[in-house]
Chains A and B, each alone.
Chain A
Amino acid sequence: MNRSIRRIAVAFMVLFLALLANANYIQVFQASDLNDRADNKRVTLDEYARERGPIMVGGTQVAYSVKTKDDLVYLRRYRDPQLYGHLTGYYSYVLGRRGLEKAENSVLAGTDDRLFVRRIVDLITNRQPQGGSALLTINPKAQQAAYDALGNNRGAVVAIEPSTGKILAMVSKPTYDPNQLSSHNANSILKAANQLEDNSSRPMENRAAQRRYPPGSTFKLVTAAAALSGGRYNPDSKLPAPAELDLPLTTFNMKNWQNGLCGPAPQVTLTEALATSCNTAFAGLGLKVGDKALRQQAEKFGFGQEYLQDLNAATSVFPGELNPPQLAQSSIGQYDVAATPLQMAMVSAGIANGGKVMQPYVVAKVSGPDLKTLEVTEPQTLSQATSPGVARQLTQMMVNVVDHGTGAPVKIDGVSVAGKTGTAQTTPDKPPYAWFASFAPANAPQVAVAVVIEHANVGRNEISGGRLAAPVAKAVMRAVIGR
């Protein structure tokens, strides 16, 4: 029998070798694939067990981690959650990550490749690895000013530093408290999430970057830029400005906002048309310039392009295949033209920056756990939207809007401000949106601001960009330039 016992022993040895080989395969070769799988709770638990790095605004940690005694060791907390919730997003055991918590996760969690050496050192010294930090471009004073000035209105504010593309303020209302979604209690997270989902005013949406509105008369800046860039117009060019413009192919006539002429005469200059936000003049101008030139100009300002993916920004749209009445409507920012407040802030910022539109960004720099800088975001040019000359002309026209036109409420003593109002129709049964796009100081721009207010607690007839949105923009500009 010994021969067969020996053979059985060899057979068992083969089986055990197969077990050993398979264990090696799983725990060494397959391990990283298995650890990367989305439904692997261990990795999440691990992430919670490390101290996640802060998100900073100025010298303040607006998102930070505190140690707890429960299984998920670290709890994510947000300071001024209503003010910064749309930027930070949340870090939730149940719902995952959103906002900058998602975009900057690798640095905050300490898993970024740039932190590799440090992780090795931590491993050897048996120190608990820590996450790095992200410093935002946000100016806390401007952010607070925008938040306060918006009051209880639904709407959004974006402020940009024209020369760099830094986002100085980004506020969306109504807002929400990410602390509720980042707690360690699954039931209370789900309850809060359901309430936020069911809320018809969609408080979790970052209106400043994610919602597209008809830009209304603020789009006239783009139309004017297209006209001036074409070379056939200058700020003093006379435009026909009838009380009603007979739109070709339709029985519909376009009227002006006040249902009358835009000025004393049925002809106005381009500068006057912008100052009074003359619909008939700009619709006629758009028809002359043509949809191709208009679309190209819009795209140079950033329409149709993706930017600020960190915050999941929506892409603004200038529609294609336009017939003349649609083109006329589009020239004054109606029909299917759709722009985010961020996009309109970029239009202002581009004009302020001599026609050069900068890529917007919200993370100024990221640092390792030792506060050593890992990366500083360098400003990047998105496109040259207009020539510096055209930008200068547009600036003059926008200053005129504030000094002598609809933008008067934004005047700041001792500072020259450039601006453009907008009042965008949506549907006849709904109140229009109030817009304001602006920058200051006009001669040496420090900040460009776009404001949209979508639902104000005032009567339908009292809604206008100048009256509602301009004061908000003014508050933000004053906060930045210190006047």
Chain B
Amino acid sequence: MSDTQQTNPVQPRRRRGAELVLLVLALGVAVGAYAIVGVAVTGHVSPQIVSYALGLVLLVGIAHVVVRYRAPYADPILLPCVVLLNGLGLALIHRLDLSKVKAAQDAGESMPHVDAPAQLTWTAVGVAAFIAMLLLIRDHRWLQRATYTALFAGVALLLLPLVPGIGVRFQGAQIWVRFAGLSFQPGEVAKMLLIVFFAGYLVVKKEALALAGRRFLGIDLPRGRDLGPIVSAWMISLAILVFQRDLGTAVLFFGVFVIMLYVATERPGWLFLGGTMFVGGAWFAYIAATQLGISQFSHIANRVNAWLHPFDPANANGAYQIIQSLYGFAYGGLLGRGLGEGHPTLVPLAKSDFIAAVIGEELGLTGLMAILLLYGVIVERGLRTALVCRDQYGKLLATGIASVFAIQVFVVIGGVTKLIPLTGLTTPFLSYGGSSLVANWALVALMLRISDFARRPATVLPPAPTEDALTQVVVVRR
């Protein structure tokens, strides 16, 4: 029995009108926030607001039209959530720009570089990538053909920053490449390619991987010969950790892989094994740095120490960021200082890694919780798509994308609020940074493509791509 012959129990509704209403609301918040920060910092609305608002409305409008015609059954809530986050991010970056400009004017220095226009340009590129994905990929199952291509491309992109000449070391991590005057983080694109690979690989291998080895303490552990994939994923993460000093990406890849493995096989043993390997690896890295003096891991030990004892003078250097971030959150309190009324420039890297601290300071606990819930909604809609999706490949892909957002948000916001040690990752859609913005827009396009497929009435479902290589017997669990 094939997936495509099942009828969808849910009455199909396109709900594009609801999406449009939500998009208008999201745009209202974004443009309103942009206007407010101008008034609060400089005393008048920033003169660029007209071109900014027009640009944003145009971009979002085109995206909406493309969704309306090319993915009419797609989830109506995802795109407005993303637009709201991206628009708010633009307003916050503009706000930090204005502070910088004001400080330079007071000190009589020349006009500093501002980042909001670049971020708006990157938003346009992101929306273009979003549209291109929706137009080019008519059926997400086509991607299954590219399983191993995605693997090689993903690994190659991950290794790119290590190539001498184009790799750039910044803030201790070697995750950037600079080429023809443009710099980007290939890891952000690799993120998507590796999810495509994981989904394609696991959907084929899941039966083999699901075979229980022996039961240990009530947990089904896999057979030794099946350990290959998880061990290699673990090694790749460790390599990222050691050679690129990028704790966040390492955690993200390994976490997403283990979650997808678990979803594919339904064996909790994989989660247990993955968790053990992660904790073991982290513990080893910490011991290696503190006891054995292996400097490759020293940045991890520094992060852990700064997390455990931020106010210890011995950690003064490593903990400066997190302390300033905590001060920002505390200063914001319950309701926040109001947009433009705080001192977010006191937090280093406020535009990228620490943008959540800006929200906590100026929009308060209320604003921070609203942002967290917004991310929660994105993750929830992603997992719901995975649940209602009728093909296993789509389920895995959707789970992977939702997990990327969930883990990223948890790791970053957990880091800047001192819940867990600090790791360098961007806050999706909010943080300043082109590569991350474009890659996340592309991921959302993929998610919309899957949800369009999942929510479409059975009668209008397109036939599965018919290639012999993909023909397989699928047991449907419901």
Contacts and interface: CB of A to CB of B under 8 A. Distances in A.
Interface in B369-395: 369, 372, 375-376, 379-380, 383, 386-387, 392, 395
Interface in A13-27: 13, 15-16, 18-20, 22-24, 26-27
- Classify chain B: how many residues form its interface, as a range: 35 or more
Interface string A1-22: 1111110110011011011101
A30 B328 CA distance: 12
Nearest to A40: B327
A321 interface: no
Contacts of B396: 1
B5 to A, nearest CB: 19
B365 interface: yes
A70 interface: yes
A42 B327 contact: yes
Given A6-B387, A27-B334, A30-B330, A20 B263 contact: no
A22 B103 contact: no
Contacts, number: 129
B44 to A, nearest CB: 15
A22 B332 CA distance: 15
Contacts of B28: none
Nearest to B360: A27
A28 interface: yes
Given A40-B327, A42-B343, A19 B262 contact: no
Given A8-B262, A8-B383, A16-B372, A27 B410 contact: no
A41 to B, nearest CB: 6
A413 interface: no
Given A2-B387, A35-B331, A23 B372 contact: yes
Given A8-B263, A16-B375, A22-B419, A1 B364 contact: no
A479 to B, nearest CB: 45
A444 interface: no
Contact of B372 (A8, A19, A41): A19
Nearest to B103: A71
B289 interface: no
Given A4-B263, A23-B360, A31 B417 contact: no
Interface in B58-96: none
B263 A5 contact: yes
Contact of A27 (B329, B414, B478): B329
Nearest to A12: B406
A28 B414 contact: no
A5 B383 contact: yes
Given A8-B259, A19-B413, A26-B326, A2 B478 contact: yes
A263 to B, nearest CB: 67
A16 B368 CA distance: 12
A23 B399 contact: no
Given A23-B417, A27-B330, A31-B333, A15 B410 contact: yes
B263 A23 contact: no
B477 interface: yes
A120 interface: no
Interface in B324-358: 326-334, 342-343, 346
A28 B333 contact: yes
A19 B417 contact: yes
A20 B478 CA distance: 33
B235 to A, nearest CB: 24
Nearest to A35: B330
A34 interface: yes
A27 B419 contact: no
B128 to A, nearest CB: 30
B477 A1 contact: yes
A4 B395 CA distance: 11
B327 A34 contact: yes
Contacts of B312: none
A481 interface: no
Contacts of B323: 39
Interface in B252-290: 259, 262-264, 266
Nearest to A36: B330
Interface string A36-55: 01011111010000000000
Contact of A23 (B266, B311, B368): B368
A27 B106 contact: no
Contacts of B342: 42
Interface residues of A, number: 37
Contacts of B417: 19, 22-23, 26
Interface string B392-422: 1001100100110010011001100111000
Contacts of B419: 18-19, 22
Given A8-B262, A8-B383, A19 B326 contact: no
A31 B396 CA distance: 42
Given A23-B417, A27-B332, A3 B383 contact: no
Contacts of B364: 27
B383 A12 contact: yes
Contacts of B418: 22, 26
B346 A41 contact: yes
Nearest to B369: A20
A395 B102 CA distance: 67
B325 to A, nearest CB: 10
Contacts of A9: 379-380, 383
B333 A20 contact: no
A473 to B, nearest CB: 50
B410 A19 contact: yes
A69 B342 CA distance: 17
Contacts of A71: 102-103, 106
A20 B413 CA distance: 10
Interface in A466-481: none
Given A5-B399, A16-B376, A27 B333 contact: yes
B380 A26 contact: no
Nearest to A27: B365
Contact of A5 (B326, B365, B395, B410): B395
A295 B417 CA distance: 60
Given A12-B379, A16-B376, A1 B264 contact: yes
B375 A23 contact: no
Given A8-B403, A12-B383, A23-B360, A1 B326 contact: no
A330 B433 CA distance: 77
A171 to B, nearest CB: 38
A34 to B, nearest CB: 4
Nearest to A6: B387
A16 B410 contact: yes
A3 B264 CA distance: 11
Given A2-B478, A8-B262, A23 B330 contact: no
A23 B392 CA distance: 37
Interface string A55-74: 00000000000000111000
A387 B79 CA distance: 90
Nearest to A22: B419
Nearest to B410: A15
B343 A41 contact: yes
Contacts of B329: 23, 26-27, 31, 34
Nearest to A32: B330
B262 A26 contact: no
A69 B395 CA distance: 58
B380 A27 contact: no
Nearest to A70: B106
A18 B418 CA distance: 12
Contacts of A4: 262-263, 266
Contacts of A34: 326-327, 329-330
5 contacts: A12-B403, A20-B372, A27-B333, A31-B329, A69-B106
Given A1-B477, A16-B372, 13 more contacts: A1-B263, A2-B395, A4-B266, A5-B387, A12-B403, A12-B410, A15-B406, A15-B410, A27-B364, A34-B327, A37-B311, A42-B331, A69-B106
Interface of A: 1-6, 8-9, 12-13, 15-16, 18-20, 22-24, 26-28, 30-35, 37, 39-43, 45, 69-71
Task: Identify the 5 closest CB pairs spanning chains A and B, nearest first.
Answer: A34-B330, A31-B330, A27-B365, A22-B419, A12-B406
